[in-house]
Amino acid sequence: MVGIVVLTPQESISSAIVAGPDSSTSNFAWNSWMSQGSWLLLHGMGSHPSVWGWVESFMQLDESVPRNDMLAPQLPNYEPLGNWTNNLVMWMNQSGIMSVPDGSVKVVAHSFGAAVTLFLLRTAYALRHGNAAELASAISSKCTDFPAVQGNASARVACYEIVAEIQTQAKNPSLWIDAASKIGAVYLYHGAIRGGCCACTGVFATPQTAASVCVLEHVNSLLWYPISDLTWDGTKTIVNIYGFAGNNHQCPGLCSSTGNVAQDKEVTEEDQRLLSAKDGDTGTAVSGSYTEVFGGYYCHSNFSNNTNGAAEAMVHTIAAYPPSTITTTQPGTSSQPVTTTSFSSYAIYLSTHPDDWVLIEAPNVVHDATTSTTLTVVITITAGDKGYNDGWWQDREAAATAALQSLTASILTSQTITVNGHQVAAKVSPSLIGVFMRIPDGAGLNTTLCGVPTATMIYGTPNYACENLEQLHASNRPVTTVDRATTYTSWADLVTTVHQILNYYHVPANRLTTINAQDWNQTTNPGDHPDHYQDGYIAQALESYGYGVFRFYEGYGVKSLPPNLAEADVNAKTKLWDIYNNQVAALYGYDLDCKPYGASTSDPTACSGFSYFLQEQYYRTGS
């Protein structure tokens, strides 16, 4: 922890109640799920627990929540993000809430309290998986070139404060991890999670907190993505209730001078949301166990006085979104997979990098994924990290997930399974599954420091201990995943794990199953990426388990071959690629695949060569 932290005693929300609704006119729901477990209500910058008075009353009267189960800390109002979050953790530790079962605490967080809650979840996830140093390093690189902020010279200091807090907690991570483990569901309300409150203009007389809000405008892509890190791979529910004033309302406040008070420019819709949106959207968006829902035409703080019924609307929105029940497994436990449906066929796609199934194995993967009688499983072997630890691989995985989601009307939910002793991340729907094994990429940043690459052998990158698929296959050199979740000790260990992933999802090892992979044969697939060949070798090894049908795809070599796809397939493949590529650009800021090594910016011409993939697909059948 950086700086001085001031704690105040635990305060029950019941001590701060203001006049609430008349119980005689309320709808009682005595069996409501909301009456189970503890509720933690977190205020924002410059606020106080009394703002929750009407919300607490409606929770008690409409949803049967015992008053004693609603708690709110009076946290110091003007601390930067790291200090504020540590204050919350210390309050939880002193309040007795750390003795409740894991996952039993439900959080409702307003404004900056929403950012604090997400920062706790995201940092604790990184601490739990041993990659907090990578997170701190990625954010630190952003602090270095932090833009000048008019009227707010504290922004760069606030950026480094976030870094320092992560580094401090990494030395003794147990308390933050324990605190985050208690949280099972989070309800954000008008959260200032991507900036807001005019923080970058210096109008607030609260420089430390305002500076942190300003910083969120520039580092939110590193902190909040992939969203699966916030939800702990789908084991926690997050419902983001966003809103803004309609044309018939006005939201006067510190930012009303911007001339658009109807949009509540203190915290805009863009400031509140993590998924794709534009001003004026009133729909619902879903990513795994994360949901964004429009909560009505209300100003940022209307709920505190129940203006236009804002407090009651908030409670009823929360009641409509109970915590998800996601099937997960942890080390030493077992569970049944989500999908147990019987299918007439099974299509397995092994993808070396997060975009290979899009560029190389589509449109076949599109046809299979959109056929309801086919179970389609896309297994991405590497993280596609290119040796970077600044959020690049997380953004590519999020983009691949978005592309997968476009192929099914069902919601992809996050799942962590344990097979063959290894934790593996997955995105699951009834007939489409995406699995991410997160093994380090073979080449990329500072590749030559690990060994001079050849046409068939590359040696990994320094950021990931020079470990990769090629060396695992060639000499059984162990390789640890980029999220530090597990280590594969031999090539047989990896192949067995892939087979057991298929077994876990009830994929039969017979001729009903088609294995699709990049071609391992350098005669039929000349000049391809060395990583791609390893993908094919895994598929070849699966033949010993009884899988009977194989398709092996040509990679970079198709550049010299003529287009062979029908117009409809080109359109479908282009649409899929656009979803993937646009998501990468939106999350990372630019497409690293279009950034030549050593260049300071992206060069669009560097990835123009990908266009040939969109018109072609060449593969052979056999072994």
pLDDT digits (tens, 9 = 90+) for 209-248: 777 888 888 888 889 988 889 999 888 999 999 887 765 4
Instruction: Say if CB 136 and CB 143 are below 8 A apart.
Output: no
The pLDDT tens digits of the residues spanning 159-172 come to 888 999 999 999 88
Q: Which residue has the tokens 């601490």?
A: 127
The pLDDT tens digits of the residues spanning 383-437 come to 998 888 888 888 889 889 989 999 998 878 888 888 999 989 999 988 999 999 9
Average pLDDT in the 578-593 region?
Answer: 75
More confident residue, 612 or 348: 348
Ramachandran angles phi, psi of 432, nearest 5°: -140, 130
The answer to whether the pTM exceeds 0.85 is no
The encoded tokens of residue 596 equal 């030549």
Q: Which residue has the tokens 């983009």?
A: 399
Q: How confident is the model at residue 7 (pLDDT cuts 50, 70, 90)?
A: very low
Q: What is the DSSP letter of 293?
A: E
Average pLDDT in the 526-543 region?
Answer: 92
Q: How confident is the model at residue 257 (pLDDT cuts 50, 70, 90)?
A: very low
Q: What burial letters (b/e) apply to 41-67, b meaning 16+ CB within 10 Å?
A: bbbbbebebbbbbbbbbbbbbbbbbee
The pLDDT value given to residue 379? 98
Domains and CATH numbers, the chain: 29-319 (3.40.50.1820), 345-440+491-621 (3.40.50.10320)
Beta carbons within 10 angstroms of residue 16's beta carbon = 17
Q: Report whether pLDDT(607) > 60.
A: no
Average pLDDT in the 293-300 region?
Answer: 84
Q: How confident is the model at residue 101 (pLDDT cuts 50, 70, 90)?
A: confident
The pLDDT value given to residue 205? 43
User: 3-state class of 349 per DSSP?
Assistant: strand
Rounded CA separation 162/150 (Å): 21
Q: How confident is the model at residue 121 (pLDDT cuts 50, 70, 90)?
A: very high
Average pLDDT in the 469-474 region?
Answer: 92
Beta carbons within 10 angstroms of residue 463's beta carbon = 19
The pLDDT value given to residue 325? 38
Angle at 586 between CA 149 and CA 558, to 5 degrees: 140
Per the document, the length of the chain is 623
Average pLDDT in the 77-91 region?
Answer: 89
More confident residue, 119 or 282: 119
Q: How confident is the model at residue 40 (pLDDT cuts 50, 70, 90)?
A: very high
The pLDDT value given to residue 442? 79
Q: Which of 367, 386, 376 is nearest to 349 (CA)?
A: 376
Q: Which residue has the tokens 């609603």?
A: 70
For the stretch 56-61, contacts whose Cβ atoms lie closer than 8 Å and that sit 24 or more positions apart, written own/partner, are: 56/13, 56/14, 56/17, 56/20, 57/17, 57/20, 57/21, 57/311, 58/20, 58/21, 58/26, 58/311, 58/312, 58/315, 58/316, 59/34, 59/315, 61/20, 61/21, 61/23, 61/26, 61/28
Gyration radius (Cα) of the chain, Å: 25
Q: Which of 532, 391, 501, 388 is nearest to 437 (CA)?
A: 501
Rounded CA separation 482/135 (Å): 12
Average pLDDT in the 273-277 region?
Answer: 75
The pLDDT value given to residue 219? 85
Average pLDDT in the 176-195 region?
Answer: 92
Rounded CA separation 112/44 (Å): 5
User: 3-state class of 212 per DSSP?
Assistant: helix
Share of the chain above pLDDT 70, in %: 79
- Average predicted confidence (pLDDT) for the chain: 80
Rounded CA separation 125/228 (Å): 10
Q: Which of 446, 515, 477, 485 is nearest to 228 (CA)?
A: 485
Rounded CA separation 365/456 (Å): 27
Q: Report whether pLDDT(8) > 60.
A: no
More confident residue, 258 or 143: 143
The pLDDT value given to residue 266? 66
Instruction: Say if CB 277 and CB 193 are below 8 A apart.
Output: no
Rounded CA separation 412/426 (Å): 9
The pLDDT value given to residue 302? 85
The pLDDT tens digits of the residues spanning 359-397 come to 999 999 999 999 989 999 999 999 998 888 888 888 889
Rounded CA separation 182/103 (Å): 5
